């Protein structure tokens, strides 16, 4: 078994084990008491957020171990900041995907440039496990300000409006590929604002599958088949990623129990699909984010000179 296959199998099996216990790995940050109200994407030492499958894995590890800091870094990055990992601490694995190119002989003897994808795992530690970092690494994300969650939130309304997705009021939450529009129940029908915006995020992720957008297709032929389950998993992850990005708890579908069974089937049949689903969800979030009006570049305040990788 290759290293890449081992990575796929190990990470997918962890998610399958969680699902069989009724746990949604990617939702643990919001169901865990320690992190309730502190919604944040896991961050590298330089404030750049992790993406895709790494987001899911670091969220799960943070909740399992009770880590409250959003920051993660390698042993070397910590050492470059004159900090050290506490004795006995064990790191979490994240993955790095890339492509190498090399020349090979084709059938006719010609030189063909081949692109070969590869996957590499490496270990990172949460700032909670590290001593001697600058104080900013230990500061916890601020809980959301108290507000009347039954009211629409202007910032979120603006975000969804800027996508130019057609959103109509109806009796159900659904996206129709044929009409290319999202149907949402009235805002007042939801228990709170998070429920509404989480559901809208789920449907907006579906909206990105249109052929004129990301053209995402899983050979879906009928309701409830494998292609349907795959698309629903992408939409679930997309809602969670978008909720973390915009700062609200992504309460989406109430019928997760039924979805979990279909997702288990998909993941057991294809150990690589959770990676693909996370990638599709990440692309969907990046797509709708790119539809927002341009703003001045956010100049990140780096705490120290960049550590070497």
Evaluated on CA atoms 136, 283, 174, 213, the torsion sign reads: positive
Tens-place pLDDT, residues 247-290: 887 765 556 667 888 999 999 999 999 999 999 999 999 999 99
Q: Work out the angle between the directed axes of helices 273-290 and 193-207 (0-180°, nearest 10).
A: 100
Distance CA 127, CA 119 (A): 25
Q: What is the pTM of this model?
A: 0.82
Tokens of 38: 């502190």
pLDDT band at 1 (very low <50, low <70, confident <90, very high): very low
Reply yes or no on whether the pLDDT at 300 is more than 70.
no
> What tokens were used for 37?
């109200």
Pairing of strands 72-73, 84-85: unpaired
Of 30-34, 132-136, 188-192, 299-303, highest mean pLDDT? 132-136
Q: Encode pLDDT of 58-102 as tens digits.
A: 998 988 888 888 999 999 999 999 999 999 999 999 999 887 888
């Amino acid at each position: 078994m290759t290293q890449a296959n081992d990575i796929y199998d190990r990470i997918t099996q962890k998610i399958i084990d969680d699902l069989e216990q009724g746990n949604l790995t990617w939702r643990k940050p919001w169901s865990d008491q320690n992190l309730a109200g502190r919604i944040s994407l896991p961050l590298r030492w330089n404030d750049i957020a992790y993406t895709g499958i790494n987001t899911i894995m670091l969220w799960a590890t943070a909740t399992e171990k009770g880590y409250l800091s959003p920051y993660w870094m390698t042993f070397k990055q910590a050492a470059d900041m004159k900090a050290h990992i506490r004795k006995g601490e064990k790191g979490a694995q994240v993955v790095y995907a890339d492509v190498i190119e090399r020349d090979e002989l084709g059938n006719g003897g010609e030189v063909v440039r081949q692109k070969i994808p590869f996957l590499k795992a490496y270990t990172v530690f949460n700032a909670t496990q590290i001593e001697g970092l600058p104080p900013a690494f230990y500061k916890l994300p601020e809980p959301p300000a108290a507000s009347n969650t039954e009211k629409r939130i202007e910032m979120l309304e603006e975000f969804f409006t800027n996508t130019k997705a057609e959103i109509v009021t109806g009796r159900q939450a659904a996206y129709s590929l044929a009409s290319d529009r999202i149907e949402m129940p009235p805002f007042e029908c939801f228990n709170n604002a998070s429920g509404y915006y989480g559901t809208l995020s789920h449907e907006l992720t579906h909206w990105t599958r249109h052929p004129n957008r990301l053209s995402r297709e899983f050979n879906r032929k009928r309701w409830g088949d494998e292609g349907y389950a795959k698309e629903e998993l992408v939409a679930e992850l997309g809602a969670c990623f978008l909720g973390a990005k915009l700062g609200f708890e992504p309460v989406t579908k109430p019928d997760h129990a039924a979805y979990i069974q279909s997702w288990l089937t998909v993941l057991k049949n294809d150990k690589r699909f959770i990676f693909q689903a996370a990638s599709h969800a990440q692309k969907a979030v990046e797509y709708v984010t790119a539809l927002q009006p341009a703003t001045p570049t956010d100049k990140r305040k780096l705490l120290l000179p960049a550590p070497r990788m």
